[in-house]
Amino acid sequence: MGKIKINFKILHLKPKILVTRLLKRLLVFLGIICCTGLLVYLTNLQSIAVYKSISRNIESSSPSLFNKIPEYQVNKNNLSTAKIHPLPENLQKWQDQNNNGDYFEQVKSTQVGYLIWSNFPIKIFIETPQNTNKNQAEAWVKVISQTVAEWNAYLPLQLVEKAELADITILRKAPPLQGNPPRARSAQTSYEIYTKNNFLNHKFTILLSPSQTGKYLVAAFRHELGHALGIWGHSPLPSDALYFSQVRNPPLISARDVNTLKKVYEQPTNLGWNVD
256-276: per-residue pLDDT in tens? 999 999 999 999 999 999 987
Q: In terms of C-beta density within 10 A (0-12 exposed, 13-18 middle, 19 or more buried), how is residue 80 classed?
A: exposed
Please name the helix (run of DSSP H) or strand (run of DSSP E) that holds residue 117, with its range, or none.
none
- Judge whether residue 54 has pLDDT over 50: no
* Least confident piece of the model among 13-17, 59-63, 248-252: 59-63
**Residues 252, 250: Cα–Cα separation, whole Å:** 7
Prediction pTM value:
0.76
- pLDDT tens figures, 191-206: 999 999 999 999 999 9
In this structure, the dihedral spanned by the alpha carbons of residues 226, 140, 120 and 266, taken in order and rounded to 10 degrees, is -10
Residue 99 backbone class (left: φ over 0; alpha: ψ -120 to 50; beta: rest): left
Q: What is the pLDDT of residue 37?
A: 52
Strands (E), the chain: 48-49, 55-58, 67-68, 122-126, 157-160, 168-172, 187-196, 199-208
